[in-house]
A and B are shown apart, each in its own frame.
With several copies, the nearest count.
Chain A
Amino acid sequence: MSEPSLVAQGLELMIFGMGVVFVFLTMLVFVTNIMSKLVNKIAPVQEVAPAPARAAVPQQGGVDPQLLKVLSAAVKEHRARQK
């Protein structure tokens, strides 16, 4: 069995490659459609339990979004009154 020529190999890779890509993504279209229907019918999402323990540690350098909300609301009122 002699080695196929480089051009033959190149074309082979092209055909196989596009074939696999299309087969894979086409199957993914079907899988996704089915999955979406199943998920939305059988198990409508409930909120997950709050992450326990160590997840509760506040994020690095984060600013309390609540505080920012309060502040910016206050500023808005402030401006509104200024007009």
Chain B
Amino acid sequence: MQSLINLWHDTGLYHMESGQVIMMLVGFLMLYLAIKKGFEPLLLLPIAVGTLMVNIPGAGLGWSAAEAAIRTGDASLLAQFRDLFSLAADATVHDVLHAYHNAEATLYKKALALGAGAGFDNGMLYTFYSVTIASGVAPLLIFMGVGAMTDFGPLLANPKTLLLGAAAQFGIFGTVAGAVLLTDAGLMDFTMQQAAAIGIIGGADGPTSIFIASKLAPELLGAIAVAAYSYMALVPLIQPPIMKALTTENERKIAMVQLREVTKGEKIVFPIAVLILVALLLPSAAPLLGMFCFGNLMKESGVVERLSDTSQNALINIVTIFLGLSVGYKMSSDAFLNGSTLAIIVLGLIAFCVGTAAGVLMAKLMNALTKDPINPLIGSAGVSAVPMAARVSNKVGLESNPQNFLLMHAMGPNVAGVIGSAVAAGVMISYFG
């Protein structure tokens, strides 16, 4: 009979909390957006499933061995955790969990060892998160694969579009300032680290956002990742109104000079040059830009096609599956259902808008200062979101001048935006390191 009761106590229904129900609805919403609306499905679909799984009540897929031991262990084990965290004898499970989640590294590891020693296992999503994200490895491998997919040709043909990729990063740093001002006004309560992690959404680059959030504010990682990928998917809706508001019809009609042919040699040397510049100026950007340049060099060198193919396909796909599920681990109701998430959504949108505007305005400025005409519509592509943002530039351009194909011209600032946000990430790691 006891077993029957155990079994009922083991059902999800018995344990279901309202927060978990809401998070499951969030998971379904993401599935809908990924499958029916085509919102960055490669990431959003695994994130959605991870969200559903981590919120299955009682399944403990997101629990470490320590959390499982605290939640489901017997009284004597709980007492050992109380001792470990120097809590009073009447501290509840909730108190112990709170102490565990806020423990500094050494104590945290002792708690893990205590849980594992008592025979508890890490949950699947916790394991995936530790190996892929907490270690920092997964975003770097994605960056390597993206590097191997990137063609720097259009950028090399017109290097000054790098400046558009620089300007658009104002979306990142403007948002940091915004988050700080919100805190100062008492509306929110962000630390500098959290403000920086939120700002990086404006980089419009998923792996960079996850990389920085895991280092500066892992508690916000779920919301940041979801916001970053969602807004990347929404670029075709977000950008055009801003682009049109900041440009005149005549500016949008500007035809640009045909891009010159770029040689194989230039393409091979460029990633090496970037790497040298990183080494000289901003070592803290070395992991992200190093792996990005490595991937690109594998592609352009032409001598390691097998490795380039694998990093663009099997490897990046494997990593994407685990990365997505792992982000789900940070989509538990405690982590997601609070005011921060709302602020992240609002600030993330602002970051995208500001970045878009800054890119367009920079293009207008350059147009005023240089000889070769620049269509300001390609400035918006500086936010990254490759190749979506470049396609948006092209589409808006065609509306004003059906003969004017901006796609290739916009690819320059577009890939520059990737470099730009990796540089911004490096600045943040250096600032807080």
Contacts and interface: CB of A to CB of B under 8 A. Distances in A.
A54 B270 contact: no
Interface in B266-324: 266, 268-270, 273-274, 277, 281-282, 301-306, 309-310, 312-314
B174 interface: yes
B42 A6 contact: no
Contact of A40 (B165, B265, B386, B420): B265
Nearest to B164: A25
A45 B386 contact: no
B41 A55 contact: yes
Given A27-B281, A61-B309, A20 B423 contact: yes
A26 B37 CA distance: 33
B282 A20 contact: yes
Contact of A51 (B38, B312, B416): B38
A53 B170 CA distance: 23
B149 A54 contact: yes
B173 A14 contact: yes
Nearest to B314: A60
Contacts of A51: 38, 41-42, 303-305
B156 A10 contact: no
A73 to B, nearest CB: 24
Mostly, the B contact residues are helix
A49 B312 CA distance: 23
A53 to B, nearest CB: 5
B265 A59 contact: no
A75 interface: no
B355 to A, nearest CB: 12
Given A14-B173, A25-B166, A55-B306, A40 B263 contact: yes
Contacts of B39: 52
A26 B166 contact: yes
A39 B272 CA distance: 13
A7 B180 contact: yes
Interface of A: 5-7, 9-14, 16-18, 20-29, 31-33, 35-36, 39-40, 43-46, 48-57, 59-61
Given A26-B162, A55-B306, 9 more contacts: A9-B180, A16-B4, A16-B7, A17-B431, A28-B159, A29-B162, A45-B265, A53-B385, A53-B388
